Structure 1
Amino acid sequence: MVTVESAARPESHGAGLPVRSNWLRAAVLGADDGIVSIAGIVIGVAAATTSTSAVITAGVAGLAAGAVSMALGEYVSVSTQRDSERAVLAVERRELAADPAGELAELAAIYEAKGLSPATARTVAEELTATDAFVAHAEAELGIDPAELTNPWHAALSSALSFTIGALLPLLAMLAPTAIRVPVTAAAVLMALAATGAIGARLGQAPMGRAAFRVLAGGALAMIATYLVGHLVGMAI
């Protein structure tokens, strides 16, 4: 049985489990990108030269460029999303000021469409409107919590940090002795990719084996391609 109290309790769009899972999944994907991108760079350079300093320099440069690129991309993307959220919230605020009775009826209709009786839906709408009409409409109509808008700075910093953490793995693996650094790096990268693929799938409630295989296959192809390119360039010069 649906009570007025339970129906009036809005679904959390703030710092609940789904939102935390989205952030964690984004962090895993950022780390995965860092692993593959920098592994491709250092393995490609290592195929062209035996100079450890050249390999590490290229890797560090790639890490810096990748982290900045990821941060800027996330900042722009999330800023656009935040602007869109603010725009629709402003429209909702104007509609509430212009036609409060019509907005109340609209809110009641939303809860009625969810399965409440007309009388219960009206009661829920009236109680929520009395508490905070703007928040009630933002959450019910738009799925937005006005107090928990997306933060572009958080997204940018999180993306840059996760990319950097992932990128450090192939960089550190390349410090192995010259004769074995490529296979050591490849093995470390493939194990890390399997782990990130499984974690990302678990967070998204998808089959872990299939996701891990896709990530492994993509990472392996990237390393093979960059190794061959580096080897050919090294031979040419």
Structure 2
Amino acid sequence: MSESAWLLDEHDEPHHSGIGERLNWLRAAVLGANDGIVSTAGIVIGVAAATTERSTILTAGLAGLAAGAMSMAVGEYVSVSTQRDTENALLAKERRELREEPEAELEELAQMYADKGLSPELAHEVAIQLTAHDALGAHAETELGIDPEALTNPMQAAYASFVSFTVGALVPLLAILLVAVSARVPVTVVAVIAALLGTGWLSARLGSSPIGPAVRRNIIGGVLAMAVTYAIGSLVGTQI
């Protein structure tokens, strides 16, 4: 197999982009769950510091869960929609350039491969083969870093954020509602720390980063949020 044919085969392999796409969604899901854990824990711990009424804590927790999940979903939908609009605009521009200036685009692609270390002759041959195979795909990937067949999906992003936030939020909400009044706060704190340990570990593994710092940041941030809202709830509860 010639070197240019090998490069073409490497360019055609879909599994690398697929794995990257799945990892991105997993990271987003972990972050969404983490947000659900911390924000809902802060709400229910704060309310529990001000009152022992289960119905009040449940109402506040459910309201926080619903508002947070919807906010995450809408925010992700808007963000990803904007990204997709930008990607579509860039692809439309690339299509127009390929249609109007094919020779100039071919030379531009060859120069990019030459800039990456290929000889000018091999870069030109690779550019010709890739352009003949899939001109838009070759230019979009090399110039823009976009896969035209795997554009971001706003609805998928919104759904993933909604579900992951909800799952995370259920941890502190169930922990504080399913135990005796005297054990509510300590049990919830322990449950939240355990959940944050899990999301910190998973986010580090997905990002191939050190586990210890990620877990510590997660737990310290969650504990700090619960401490602040508990102090506020205690203060408000005694004043009222």
Normalising by the smaller structure, the TM-score range is over 0.9
Deviation per residue, 1:177-215 (Å, 9 max, x gap): 111011000000011101111110111111110110011
Deviation per residue, 1:76-122 (Å, 9 max, x gap): 10011111111111111111111100101111111112222212111
Q: Counterpart of 1:146 in 2: which secondary structure? A: coil
Comparing 75-84 and 11-20, the one that deviates more? 11-20
Aligned 1:64-213 pairs, distance under 5 A:
64-174=66-176, 175-213=178-216
- Kindly state the Cα deviation for residue 16 of structure 1 after the two structures are TM-superposed: 2.2
Of 16, 24, 27, the residue aligned with 2:26 is 24
Deviation per residue, 1:150-175 (Å, 9 max, x gap): 00100000001000000000111012
Deviation per residue, 1:29-73 (Å, 9 max, x gap): 100000000000001000000101110111011100000000000
Using the size of structure 2 for normalisation, the TM-score is: 0.95
Counterpart AA for 1:226: T
50 and 6 in structure 1: CA distance in 2 versus 1, 3 angstrom threshold: same
Q: Counterpart of 1:145 in 2: which secondary structure? A: coil
Comparing 85-94 and 110-119, the one that deviates more? 110-119
- 1:14–1:145 CA contact under 8 A, matched in 2: no
Alignment correspondent of 1:3: 3
Alignment correspondent of 1:52: 54
- 1:14–1:148 CA contact under 8 A, matched in 2: no
The size of the alignment, in residue pairs, is 237
Q: Counterpart of 1:180 in 2: which secondary structure? A: helix
Establish whether residue 221 from structure 1 lines up as the match of residue 235 from structure 2. Answer: no
- CA distance in 1 between counterparts of 2:199 and 2:55 reads 29
- CA distance in 1 between counterparts of 2:43 and 2:82 reads 31
Counterpart AA for 2:156: H
Q: Counterpart of 1:205 in 2: which secondary structure? A: coil
Could you list the runs of 5+ residues in structure 1 that have no partner in the other structure? Answer: none
Using the size of structure 1 for normalisation, the TM-score is: 0.96
Comparing 6-15 and 46-55, the one that deviates more? 6-15
Aligned 1:36-47 pairs, distance under 5 A:
36-47=38-49
Q: Counterpart of 1:148 in 2: which secondary structure? A: coil
- CA distance in 1 between counterparts of 2:20 and 2:86 reads 21
Q: Counterpart of 1:16 in 2: which secondary structure? A: helix
- Kindly state the Cα deviation for residue 14 of structure 1 after the two structures are TM-superposed: 7.2
2 and 195 in structure 1: CA distance in 2 versus 1, 3 angstrom threshold: farther
- CA distance in 2 between counterparts of 1:184 and 1:134 reads 56
- CA distance in 2 between counterparts of 1:14 and 1:82 reads 20
Percent identical among aligned pairs is 61
- CA distance in 1 between counterparts of 2:225 and 2:101 reads 57
